[in-house]
Amino acid sequence: MNGAAGAHDRAPEWAHLDADCLVAIKPSGLLSVPGRGEAHQDCLARRVQAHVPDALVVHRLDMATSGLMLFARGASAQRALSRAFAAREVGKRYIAVAQGRIEPPHGEIDLPLIADWPRRPLQKVDVRTGKPSLTRYRVLETDPSADCTRLELEPVTGRAHQLRVHLQAIGHPILGDALYAPPEVQARAARLLLHAAQLRFVHPTSGMALDIRSPAPF
């Protein structure tokens, strides 16, 4: 058995599991879905499907981001949950640690985003042609001695790399961000300090409101 196959056999950490949907906790550095080439086949989706074969992807997290990722069990549940994401009926909260002191202690970052085509997969702010993108934030703790801020983030829209680009754009890149932070901020953490900590959604069959949480590992 090769190394990738062995990795697929490792059971993910479950935050929720029932007959219609599940929530797994993705480690930082693991792909959400398979990439191109044999070296990029290990991913959370395959690890989940090795134990729950009918699991289907509903949304994705960046490779560097850890935390809660929702899967449907079967096509009907996938359609219902995908519709909920598209209608912005799924509540998402992230925990991040960013460079500097963020003021005011709560607010919104409303900056349109677009793919930075010459430097793909990077994204960038573009006020002329970017897609509307909105992030709400709330400061949890400021550490003046370390010159960083721990905060809760709510992506109202779901653009690629939205939280990372929005924080970088206001001058507070996330620690450990190898894509958007300057080298000295990248070096402050061994991983991207961004974690999907909460998912709130309506169960696709029972209609029950679910609130799934996972504490940040940093």
CB of 59 within 8 A of CB of 161?
A: no
Which residues are CB-neighbours of 53 under 8 A, at least 6 positions away? none
**115-126 mean pLDDT:** 94
Residue 170 has pLDDT above 70, yes or no: yes
Q: Are residues 62 and 150 in the same domain?
A: no
CB of 22 within 8 A of CB of 52?
A: yes
Looking at the DSSP assignment, which residues form a beta bridge with residue 174? 98
**Set 62, 116, 126, 177: catalytic member:** 62
Residue carrying structure tokens 């940093």: 218
Q: Are residues 186 and 99 in the same domain?
A: yes
126 is catalytic: no
Report the Cα–Cα distance between both ends of the chain, in Å, rounded.
33
Query: Are β-strands 55-57 and 66-73 bridged in parallel, bridged antiparallel, or unpaired?
Result: antiparallel
Q: Are residues 86 and 102 in the same domain?
A: no
What does the pLDDT read at residue 7? 56
Give the separation between CA 44 and CA 26, rounded to whole angstroms.
Answer: 6
What does the pLDDT read at residue 78? 97
The answer to whether residue 209 is domain-embedded is: no
SS3 label, residue 191: coil
Q: Are residues 103 and 181 in the same domain?
A: yes
Return the percentage of the chain with pLDDT > 90, whole number: 92
Q: Are residues 127 and 187 in the same domain?
A: yes
Q: Which domain holds residue 116?
A: 93-194
The answer to whether residue 31 is domain-embedded is: yes
Token digits of residue 115? 């793919």
Residue 117 has pLDDT above 50, yes or no: yes
Residue 1 has pLDDT above 50, yes or no: no
Q: Are residues 81 and 110 in the same domain?
A: no
Supply the CATH number for residue 21's domain: 3.30.2350.10
- pTM assigned to the model: 0.94
Which residues are CB-neighbours of 23 under 8 A, at least 6 positions away? 14, 15, 16, 17, 68, 69, 70, 71, 199, 212
For the segment 42-82, what is each residue's pLDDT rounded down to a tens digit? 999 999 999 999 999 999 999 999 999 999 999 999 999 99
**99-119 mean pLDDT:** 96
Helices (H), the chain: 3-8, 44-51, 75-86, 162-169, 183-186
What does the pLDDT read at residue 6? 53
Give the separation between CA 177 and CA 18, rounded to whole angstroms.
Answer: 34
Number of domain units in the chain: 2
Residue 85 has pLDDT above 50, yes or no: yes
For the segment 7-17, what is each residue's pLDDT rounded down to a tens digit? 556 789 999 99
